[in-house]
Amino acid sequence: MMKSIYNIVTGTLLRFILLSVMITEDANAIPSFARKYGTSCGTCHVLAPKLYAFGRGFKNNGYIWPGGDKGYVKERPVPLGAPPQKRIWPKVTWPGEMPGSSPISFRIRNEFIYQPEGEISTDFVFPALINLHLGGSLTESFTFLGTFHLFERGDQRLHQFAVVVRDPLGERLPENLLNLKLGKFEPSAIPFSSVRQLSPFGLLLNSYDIQNPMAVTGGPHAHGERGFILGATQSGVELFGSVGDRLLYAVGAVNGNGDAVSDDNSNKDFFGRIAYKLGGRSVTGRAPADYSETRPWVDNSIRLGVFGYRGTLSAIEEEVSHEMDNAPEHGEMGNENEHPGEIHIGRWGGDLDIWLGNLNIAAAVMRGVDEDQGKKEDFTATFLQGDYVIYPWLVAGLGHEMVLQEEMTDIERVVLSISSSFRPNVIGTVGHQFFLNNSGEDRLVIAVDIAF
């Protein structure tokens, strides 16, 4: 009976989405980077938010057009001073510029959720998300990008805001060899960002928390109230760049406490990543000789990467009190490098990104360890996903993820999705997650994103 109802509801909603493609009206504006360069969202995205090679190159280049902005900026910036001032600095202020119009964009998402085994089986989440985005440049040497969740299921918070200083040593080093990022951002140790996925479910690799192992499945929390997830935005500093056209690197230090404004311990977390790309566009987005104007997402290439993250997490207050109650008597010495209430965390792994014609295959494996007073909890997470560009406006995806942890039920999930751009800045997605081994709650999500 439930399956019959499920099939009827799913079929009806799919027809509704297809009808929406035909009746959705054109939007009146596009986000700030598209306005700056006078170009479509499709210049960087297969379908937003998924980036193809040019968009990744734009990001790796510090949010500047590959090869430089000259000749590509259509929105005239406001000059702050004159170029001749550079010759008589420091007697005068170094000249700069600011965006010619407001660098603000918005994203609005509406969702319908169907969860047949959930306490609430159907839910209209209108809106599910309202984001304010900031993006622009203050000359080619200073760029910025930010996201503030004006509304995310009732919450408000700063998701990210970072300033990038491009080539701070100027012509002393090759272009893009050394860049500096300051602010709150996703550490580059993350091989595949959840916010760049077309699927509405994110990635287990980025959201799994040993202290809350059931949180990613929709089930009750197993224990603890606060842990570490790799995909959280962090406050800190990062050095990144490219060596030649093929090698990317990033190293950095962050607070390690996610959305909190300030740190809760004196230790800093450290991370690093290195990746090498074979074939296709350069890592900074320059096009190869066989670049296709009609299929710009085609980037026949393989990218191999390794990443690592090491840090310290403060245990919750109840856990600290319990540890102190059970501390050794005076005179019994433990490990002098261990401090009650601190959990040492480590994440490391490798990733693979392949583009072959219209097919994109992404894979990663990660090992995670939390160590608290000599007691270790560890897990292994894997991720494999294929996205296929059926048409420039239609992309289908299939993903498989696993999390293996001792003394816990293995989490295994299959995700199906299909996304369509009703217009370049209006994206609809139908996604379904299936948990195997009864390790989570199946869910169907239909989402419509509008960016302007």
325 backbone dihedrals φ, ψ, rounded to 5°: -65, -30
Give me the sign of the Cα torsion angle 269, 274, 280, 285.
Answer: positive
The pLDDT of residue 217 is: 63
Report the CATH fold assignment for 2-69+102-329+338-451. Porin (2.40.160)
The pLDDT of residue 12 is: 40
Nearest Cα to 323, choosing from 344, 312, 338?
338
The pLDDT of residue 72 is: 83
C-alpha span between 233 and 185 (Å, rounded):
5
Which pair of structure tokens corresponds to residue 112? Answer: 């319908």
307 exposed, middle or buried (CB, 10 Å; 0-12, 13-18, 19+)? Answer: buried
Nearest Cα to 108, choosing from 95, 93, 126?
126
For the entire predicted model, the pTM comes to 0.82
The pLDDT of residue 316 is: 53
pLDDT tens, N- to C-terminus, the chain (452 residues): 444 444 444 444 433 333 333 333 333 334 788 888 888 777 888 887 888 888 888 888 888 888 788 788 888 888 888 888 889 988 899 888 888 888 889 999 999 999 988 888 999 999 998 999 888 888 888 898 898 989 887 677 888 899 999 999 988 899 899 999 999 999 999 999 988 888 888 899 999 988 777 676 654 333 334 578 899 899 999 999 999 999 999 999 999 877 666 777 788 999 999 999 999 999 998 877 666 667 888 899 999 999 999 998 876 544 444 444 444 444 444 444 445 578 899 999 999 999 999 999 999 999 999 998 778 889 999 999 999 999 999 999 999 999 998 877 889 999 999 999 988 889 999 999 999 988 888 999 999 999 88
Structural domain spans, the chain = 2-69+102-329+338-451
